[in-house]
Structure 1
Amino acid sequence: MDYSRQDLLDAYRRAGVCEGKVVYVTGNFGRLGRYESKDKATLFQDHFDVLMELLGETGTLVVPTHSFKLVNTDEPFDPHLTPSETGPFSDFIRQQDMACRQFHPFSSSTAIGAQAQEICGGKSRHVYGAGTPFDAMVKRDALFLALGKEARNSVSLVHHVELAAAVPYRYVKEFMKPVVRQEAVQVEPFYLHVLYRDMEVERDRNVTIMASFEQQHELHKVPLGRSFIESFSMSQFYDHVLQLMIENPFIWLRKEPQTKPFQK
């Protein structure tokens, strides 16, 4: 055994999970090592129970529940049945009775708790930008939690900032997609903020961004099992990285692209 339920409680509390907080959880649970129970269902249930215990009646848990395999297919998206591709814990959360899943066929978030509907029940057809779960979480100063790996490797919030900063190497693309609404299949438009296809892109993997953020803001790193939890304020990250991208719109990249399909 590498960690127990009590270890979970202590680590999540030290990482900043507390009464009334909105918490966004992602990462790799397998890297935490062996849990006190070998049963996967018990493992996920205990993580969930501990988080909700700390969040209390006024807190909210949010997880990514992507389904990118549906891009460019005719398979309908059903928010109640389409599985999450973002790890088994996120799919466990998606299947809970009180879960509210964002209605987006490719890159949804799912929430449980007091503000679940306000965060994931909106009508935006975008993943990032006004009226999306990421917009709602930033406004509520949600806590970003990365389990089992460095936050820089899973901080999709950076793409929400890219849209706000209007970075030139991305554009909004429309996808006409069959979805299930009220038990009927219909085709509707949805949007992704995508990279230009004919462009050399070398990702920086958020190394520069996170190094700059850590110089001015607190990044908690809490041991858990064989690995750790990293956590930080989503609103602080948004404000900090937005200024970075305004000053240098290519900071997410290792270097500015030589081929610029966005340039006339």
Structure 2
Amino acid sequence: MNQRVIKALSALGIGKGDILYIASDITSFAIEVVNAKQDINECFNELISGLQNLVGDSGTLMFPIYSWDFNKGKSFDIRYTVGGTGALSNWILKNRPDFIRTAHPIYSFMVWGKDANTLASMNNIDSFGQFSPFGYMYKCDAKMIFFNVPIRRGVTFTHYVEESLQVPYRYFKPFSAKYIDSNGIESNRTYVMYVRDMNIKSKEYMPDSFYKDIVKEIKFDSFYIKLLGSRDTFRLTADDLLNNGGKNIYKFENYELDWSNKSYYKNR
């Protein structure tokens, strides 16, 4: 199974020096492993090592391990706080000491490779800003991989586009809680997130068909892998927000995207 995944990624053009953001739903993968009576830890190790070999020492791997407990005032421990964005990232946190966790308590990543230390040393207070890992993804045109995940569930990069454009339906909101660093030292910290105005009723849309002109896809057995370039995604998303009322990004119920009213939301 692992060899098929790596072969599929190679067929999509992934190779040495690439920067990969990997969103995954490994449920089906795990079921297949269990049915084949294989050791799950061994299979996950083989998969991660296969990805490392694919991009090489000149490449970088980024696995999202987002957690929203900090938003609720709960403490964040960079060593142990699990994420809510997939079992594979949490498995890496517990089992792969060759990965480093980036510092933001809400939108962190498990990272490995050439730029791992650069990413881990980022001190971005802002979740989606220019100097965050998302800004790095845009600057380096990272390749976003969606393994058995609909694009809309994994394309958090959309929020980087929204903040870059300063969309009028979001505003900056601070969150404060206890933060425990890699040395076990606890402190009170405040981080900022570009949040949606909850008075505006909306539902994330982003159908996979929206990305049809920029996506690469490969299917095998019951699995699929989709690939998007960060800069192509930025251009497509920005164009929809600026010129189409964001109709492919959200289904707004009581609001129409109005750029002339931006300052009201930005400064709330």
In the other structure, the counterpart of 1:227 is 223
Q: Deviations over 1:35-66 (max 9, x none)?
A: 35532212211210110010111111101011
Give the Cα separation in 1 of the matches to 2:37 and 2:115.
31
What amino acid sits opposite 1:245 in the alignment? L
**Which string of whole-angstrom CA distances, capped at 9 and with x for unpartnered residues, describes residues 50-102 of structure 1?**
100101111111010111133223x4211112122222210122342232222
- Unmatched segments (≥5 aa) in structure 1: none
Q: In 1, are the aligned partners of 2:20 and 2:145 still within 8 Å (CA)?
A: yes
CA-atom RMSD in angstroms: 2.3
Q: Within 5 Å, which residues of 2 pair with 1:101-250?
A: 101-181=101-181, 182-203=183-204, 205-207=205-207, 210-215=208-213, 217=214, 219-250=215-246
Aligned-partner Cα distance in 2 for 1:67–1:46: 26
5+ residue gaps, structure 2: none
Partner Cα distance (2:122, 2:180) in 1: 17
Q: Quote how far apart the aligned CAs of 1:224 are.
A: 3.4
TM-score in terms of structure 1 length: 0.87
Q: Which residue of 1 aligns with 2:82?
A: 83
1:184-236 deviations in Å (ceiling 9; x for gaps): 21111101111112221133x202xx544423x2x111123412111121121
- 1-side partners of 2:23 and 2:216: how far apart? 15
Checking the alignment, whether the CA contact within 8 Å between 1:200 and 1:258 is kept in structure 2 is yes
> 2:45 & 2:37 partners in 1: Cα distance?
11
Residues of 1 paired with 2:82 and 2:149: CA distance? Answer: 23
Conservation of the 8 A alpha-carbon contact between 2:69 and 2:76: no
Q: Find 1:34's aligned residue among 32, 35, 48.
A: 32
- Aligned pair 1:13/2:10, yes or no? yes
Measured in 2, the distance between the counterparts of 1:20 and 1:175 equals: 36
Are the equivalent residues in 1 in contact too, given 2:201–2:252 (CA < 8 A)? no
Determine helix, strand or coil for the equivalent of 2:228: strand
Tell me the alpha carbon deviations over residues 144-172 of structure 1, each in whole angstroms, 9 at most, x when there is no partner: 00011332332111111111111111111
Match of residue 252, structure 2, among 234, 255, 258: 255
Residues 62, 111 of structure 1: 8 Å contact kept? yes
Distance 1:57 1:37, change over 3 A: farther
CA shift, 1:256, in A, is 5.9
Matching residue's letter, 2:138: V
Identity of aligned residues (%): 20
> SS at 1:66's partner residue?
coil
SS at match of 1:91: helix
SS at match of 2:250: coil
Q: Secondary structure at the match of 2:77?
A: coil
- TM-score where L is the length of structure 2: 0.86
Secondary structure of the residue aligned to 1:107 is: coil
